[in-house]
Chains A and B, each alone.
Chain A
Amino acid sequence: NAGVTQTPKFRVLKTGQSMTLLCAQDMNHEYMYWYRQDPGMGLRLIHYSVGEGTTAKGEVPDGYNVSRLKKQNFLLGLESAAPSQTSVYFCASRMTATDTQYFGPGTRLTVL
């Protein structure tokens, strides 16, 4: 099992550009999450999904959109990137019956 994988690992964008981050899990987990990690601020929840076809907002959803068309994939989109979105993005997943989240390796995004 690969666990949780994220694509790409690194990306540099110019202000106003768009991009999509892909998260994939092969553990058949119902729940999936997108977090951003910034120095001194821990992990902040952007959006999450409790199952295929459902999404919900987290703490910091502005400027991001998500989709969960397949159970194993959770996409995070930036429609018009801003320098404030420079961060490391982590995806996580968990089973319904447990509280343990499994994190991916992260995507480091720089917006110039």
Chain B
Amino acid sequence: QQQVKQSPQSLIVQKGGISIINCAYENTAFDYFPWYQQFPGKGPALLIAIRPDVSEKKEGRFTISFNKSAKQFSLHIMDSQPGDSATYFCAASKPSFNKFYFGSGTKLNVKP
């Protein structure tokens, strides 16, 4: 059973537009929801993360929206730039699980 489902698989956005990537999770015990950014040929790097005690977290142009009742969370990239073109992964975990469950990834292409 896939623990974290991510959509869309790919996304094309014009420069200056808003990129939105969605994730849904199964296990209500999860209490940590990070987003990772991966450039070609590199390892993933933490972008932003949220815990379920808040509904939104913003860091610069990147915002996570969290809906606990729907078991969904999303990444919003405001004023998208060509340099944001990368693959984005959502994930979920509970520290006592010692494991992280990743979504399938979204390849974002920001057109100049």
Residues of A whose CB lies within 8 Å of any CB of B are 4, 31, 33, 35, 40-45, 48, 50, 56, 58, 90, 92, 99-101, 103-106
Contact B43 A99 (CB under 8 A): no
CA separation between A17 and B99, bound complex, in Å?
Answer: 30
Instruction: Tell me the smallest distance from the CB of A38 to a CB of chain B, in Å.
Output: 10
Contacting chain A: which of B11-19, B44-52, B65-73, B78-86?
B44-52
Interface residues on B, range: 20 to 34
CA separation between A48 and B101, bound complex, in Å?
Answer: 13
Chain A contacts for B103, CB-based, 8 A: 42
Chain B contacts for A104, CB-based, 8 A: 43
Residues of B whose CB lies within 8 Å of any CB of A are 4, 6, 9, 32, 34, 36, 41-46, 49, 89, 91, 93, 95, 98-105
For chain A, what secondary structure do more than half of its interface residues adopt (helix, strand, loop), or is it mixed?
strand
Select B43's contact among A48, A56, A90, beta carbons within 8 Å.
A90
Contact A100 B46 (CB under 8 A): yes
Q: Using known A-B contacts A40-B9, A42-B89, A43-B89, determine if residue A103 contacts B100 with beta carbons closer than 8 Å.
A: no
CA separation between A44 and B45, bound complex, in Å?
Answer: 16
Between A4, A42, A43, A56, the greatest number of chain B beta carbons within 10 A of the residue's beta carbon is seen for A42
Contacts A43-B44, A99-B34 given; 13 further ones with Cβ under 8 A?
A33-B100, A42-B102, A42-B103, A42-B105, A44-B102, A48-B98, A56-B98, A99-B93, A99-B95, A101-B100, A103-B36, A103-B45, A105-B43
Select A45's contact among B9, B42, B44, B99, beta carbons within 8 Å.
B99
